[in-house]
Amino acid sequence: MKKGIGLAALLLIVFLTACGNSGSSSDNSIEFLVSGDSVEGNAISTMAKKYNEENDANVKVVDVPYEDMATRVTNMVRDGNPPELIRTTKFSPLWQDQLLNLGEIGKERNVDESLFIKVENEVKALPLDLTAVGMFVNKDLFEEAGVEYPTSEDDIWTWEKFTSSVKKVTENTNAEYGFVMDQSEHRLLTMLYQFGSEGIRPNGNGEYQVNQETNEGIEFFTQLNNEGVMPKNVWTSGANAASLFKSGRVAAYMSGNWQLQDFSENITNFEWASVYMPKEDTRATNLGGNYIVAFDGTGNEKATNNFISWLYKKENHEQMSRIGGYLPVVENAEVNYQFAQESFEIYQNEIDASAEVSSYMQTEIVAKQLIAEESTNNVLREEVIGVLNNDKSIEEALNNTTDAYTEAYGNN
């Protein structure tokens, strides 16, 4: 018995030493942290493999849970061992001093400059894959009700027209709701831009403010919820909008191009289509998506830059976008998608026609994440939920939102 335990203890010690950190920074491999690559057709891994084969390099793609990317990277930075490259939507001010300037690569490869993330004239991040907000309709329901929806950019509907159309659909079919929108600030802002909002911007004194159209947009949104055109429980208690649409009981759904793959594969009980979004004042979508960020001080800066530059080469970018179902960011890139080609074209047109505010707000909010300790993430959403719950007026909600922005970003 005693011998056995002694032996076991010895084995354990050997084992523990063996699985200790063997140190990995000396080789010239590039660690590339991404989220969700395996569910996006392994687009990034495929590209990395291609690069490794062509250039005898060693780019290692590491899939990190989306929610934990920022924490993980911050830990690695604190450990003094940052990854060479990450693809992310979230940033931390702790990284700011350790990022490579990617401006030259971006310009050289004709990446859309309005989406560069700049801090003090240095480009800290480049957009890698673009997402845009868009509208889906349940084709079957519209046809059953005999209601038309826009099929080209020439007959885009207004929000009033849209509302009366989906109301007609719910009246004439067994659809339960006319319209549903993700419980997301990003989606709500899209609607507000369409009403003519200029976003949440600072005035000359660094105080943030919104225009009157923003107020009108929220009023319209609240009305849709109160009238029951939209299910109130999506915004007030977080019911899943995508599942509601997938159940086939909702006429229209405002989400984005990231749903296309899932819808193409997993909606079998009805026909759906992407349509142009309504406008009130202007046409607008809202941009999002992942950025590529490269770290300084890894000893592999040159190899990292070479890889990034290769990744943005037009044909490589097109291939990556095709596999992952991404909207391209490189000028003149044309992508033949494996699914929902017509939908992607609609999204591309929406982006081209969109008001300037959408890229302005997006890059502004991201850049602020790199410099400000505080974040205004979801402040507007929470305030609007308060309005829907009759806890406060639209006026109060907007004042609270702009105050929060001023407090977080006013001095920067």
Partner 1 sequence: MLKFKENQSSIFLTVLMYVMVFLFIFPILWLLLSSFKPGGELFDYPLSFLPENPTVENYEYAWTTMNFVRYFVNTAIVTVVTTVLTILASASCGFALAKYKYKWLSVFFICILATTMLPTEVIMNPTFTVIQTLGLYDSLAGLIVPSISTATGIFMFRQFFLTVPDDLLESARIDGASEGKTFFRLMLPISKPIIITLAIFSFQWRWNDYIWPLIVISSPEKYTLQIALRNIVGANSIDWPLLLSASVISILPMVILFFVFQRYIMDSQATSGLKD
Closer by beta carbon to partner 1, 195 or else 235 = 235
Measured between alpha carbons, how far is 177 from 64 in angstroms, rounded to an integer? Answer: 37
Kindly identify the residues of this chain, within the stretch 165-194, that bind partner 1 according to CB under 8 A. none
Beta strands in 78-121 (DSSP E): 85-88, 117-119
Closer by beta carbon to partner 1, 205 or else 266 = 266
Q: What does the buried/exposed string (b/e) look like for 158-172 if buried means 16 or more CB atoms within 10 Å of the residue's CB?
A: ebeebbebbbbbbee
Measured between alpha carbons, how far is 292 from 305 in angstroms, rounded to an integer? Answer: 11
Closer by beta carbon to partner 1, 125 or else 387 = 125
67 binds partner 1 (CB under 8 A): yes
256 binds partner 1 (CB under 8 A): yes
93 binds partner 1 (CB under 8 A): no
14 binds partner 1 (CB under 8 A): no
Comparing CA positions, the residue from 369, 184, 359, 379 lying closest to residue 286 is 359
40 binds partner 1 (CB under 8 A): yes
Site string for partner 1, 190-229 (x = CB under 8 A): ----------------------------------------
Measured between alpha carbons, how far is 293 from 95 in angstroms, rounded to an integer? Answer: 10
16 binds partner 1 (CB under 8 A): yes
Comparing CA positions, the residue from 295, 296, 331, 336 lying closest to residue 314 is 331
388 binds partner 1 (CB under 8 A): no
Whether 327 contacts 114, CB under 8 Å: no
Closer by beta carbon to partner 1, 32 or else 195 = 32
26 binds partner 1 (CB under 8 A): no
The runs of H, that is alpha helices, within 173-240 are 185-194, 212-227, 232-237
CB of residue 350 vs partner 1: minimum separation in angstroms? 17
The runs of H, that is alpha helices, within 156-205 are 159-172, 185-194
What are the backbone angles phi and psi of residue 405, rounded to the nearest 5°?
A: -65, -45
State which of residues 7, 10, 12, 223 lies at the interface with partner 1 (CB under 8 A): 12
Kindly identify the residues of this chain, within the stretch 262-281, that bind partner 1 according to CB under 8 A. 262, 265-269
Q: Which amino acid is at 11?
A: L
Closer by beta carbon to partner 1, 220 or else 258 = 258
State which of residues 51, 86, 128, 131 lies at the interface with partner 1 (CB under 8 A): 131
CB of residue 331 vs partner 1: minimum separation in angstroms? 25
Whether 98 contacts 299, CB under 8 Å: no
Residues 6+ apart with CB under 8 A from 45: 37, 38, 61
Where do we find the tokens 């191009």? 257
State which of residues 152, 205, 243, 336 lies at the interface with partner 1 (CB under 8 A): 243
Cα→Cα distances 270→137, 139, 141, 373, 390, Å: 11, 8, 9, 46, 36
Measured between alpha carbons, how far is 222 from 181 in angstroms, rounded to an integer? Answer: 12
The piece of 229-237, 252-260, 364-372, 389-397 that touches partner 1 (CB under 8 A) is 252-260
Closer by beta carbon to partner 1, 1 or else 203 = 1
State which of residues 53, 79, 97, 373 lies at the interface with partner 1 (CB under 8 A): 79
CB of residue 187 vs partner 1: minimum separation in angstroms? 10
The piece of 5-13, 151-159, 205-213, 277-285 that touches partner 1 (CB under 8 A) is 5-13
65 binds partner 1 (CB under 8 A): yes
Q: Which amino acid is at 353?
A: A
325 binds partner 1 (CB under 8 A): no
The residues that touch partner 1, with contacts defined as CB under 8 A, are 1-2, 5, 8-9, 12, 15-16, 19-21, 35-36, 38-40, 62-68, 71-72, 75-76, 78-79, 89, 131, 242-243, 246-249, 255-256, 258-259, 262, 265-269
